Structure 1
């Protein structure tokens, strides 16, 4: 096989199907040639084409490979440790190869201790010229989700541990939330039942706007607990910066009611 690295360093625009692969120590660009295989891991050329986790003995010398077949790049784990893909997908050496979609795909190779070695993959699509530097372009703001003032206060109370960026946060119980809201807004009559109804209403509304995590019960897959759906709601709101740490000022009883 001709080494992909030797094919990858030109400056001509990438044609559709071109694979861009990058790790901490380098990157390559590989044309979509049927049967071509790109290998990554701790080893050296010519055993691997992209070095990953060179100082980590938990990473295999050949930890994974990407092969171009049927007009797609297929990823296979060939290492002893797991490979993690978006949406929590894990790949073992016994897993079937996974096709890469056009665009960006990050994967993480499990290493020693808490180490996770990032490999960034990008496949040029048919409707784009490839990776184009846009250093001077304006930054796109994050997508935030609309909340009214009552909803924001309620979600800040229930999600205060998330806004402290704690490890493994959990929602406040409706009972404790009702007690805190009764102290903060004694005239608002926040009962546990009212809290539940407002949370359900927010989940239904955001579900229709492309929220990134499940917010409603899936009857076919089996119903997750309401607490799990509430966790998904709070996680998505914090990750999108819809809720941010300064919102915790709403919990200061010296502040005037909003």
Structure 2
């Protein structure tokens, strides 16, 4: 197993194992590590990983982070994440992996791991898995032109309903927002626009096409097959995260129509 390191925030080098097929590159506050894919390939991370294993320090001054908090293992042509710590590991897309969960396979490309420790501190690792033909790690582009954020198209009616459903995501001060209940959304809409006589079926007819359209465009976590059971409000939550956090399709300006009527 080939492994290479750089300290600090240096740019990953070219050549093996940085650009090897299916190689794993992990970047954190303490540097970057590249691990060549193959039998026995693994990388531990945490506050103080066992020095007898290849590891990367993360949250080394935070006692809520376990000594070895997670392990990345290459098996069956995939890189797998296993949580070995006491706190959940959040991965890109909002999914949380717990110690009791099975190993989670990671797709090629970028993945971010976040451990929330003491006093809401965020300990972050950026992962990049090369494709089967190798890869070229992206260089910093401080002088590059910022890419304009994609915004999903919404009709005025869709925007109105989704702003009511997701108003907690648009107001500051809520660290863990959740959608209004379906009935709560109906009641609030009827308070704001009573002439439209909102019902559960009516709001479903407005929200469902948006959710299915985004799913068809590749947004994950918007259909039952892509979320853990019980489903609960997960589909609505994932939809609102996509619309408010990831794309800013809905913004606090959309609350103005609600606040003005109230």
Asked if Structure 1 and Structure 2 have the same fold, meaning a TM-score greater than 0.5 normalized by the shorter chain, the answer is yes
TM-score normalized with structure 2 length: 0.72
Q: Following the alignment from structure 2 to structure 1, what is the Cα–Cα distance between the partners of residues 231 and 2?
A: 50
Cross-structure match for 1:186: none
Instruction: Tell me the SS of whatever aligns to 1:242.
Output: coil
How many residues are treated as equivalent by the alignment? 241
Q: Following the alignment from structure 1 to structure 2, what is the Cα–Cα distance between the partners of residues 97 and 212?
A: 19
Instruction: Tell me the SS of whatever aligns to 1:192.
Output: coil
Superposition CA RMSD, Å? 3.6
Q: Compute the displacement of 1:35 (Å).
A: 1.6
Q: Verify: 1:57 aligned to 2:60, yes or no.
A: no
Q: Following the alignment from structure 1 to structure 2, what is the Cα–Cα distance between the partners of residues 67 and 230?
A: 33
- 1:113-159 Cα shifts (integer Å, max 9, x gaps): 43342222111112563222262554443332222223323433444
> Counterparts in 2 of 1:106-145, with a 5 A limit?
106-126=112-132, 129-133=135-139, 135=141, 136-145=143-152
Q: Following the alignment from structure 1 to structure 2, what is the Cα–Cα distance between the partners of residues 148 and 250?
A: 15
- 1:17-37 Cα shifts (integer Å, max 9, x gaps): 111111222211222243233
Any unmatched runs of 5+ in structure 1? 183-188
Cross-structure match for 1:164: 171
Cross-structure match for 2:222: 214
Return the match for 1:11 from 8, 11, 14.
14
Cross-structure match for 1:246: 253
Q: Compute the displacement of 1:10 (Å).
A: 4.4
Task: Tell whether the 8 Å contact from 1:21 to 1:28 is kept in structure 2 after alignment.
Answer: yes
Larger radius of gyration: 1
TM-score normalized with structure 1 length: 0.73
Task: Tell whether the 8 Å contact from 1:145 to 1:206 is kept in structure 2 after alignment.
Answer: no
Any unmatched runs of 5+ in structure 2? none
Task: Tell whether the 8 Å contact from 1:43 to 1:51 is kept in structure 2 after alignment.
Answer: yes
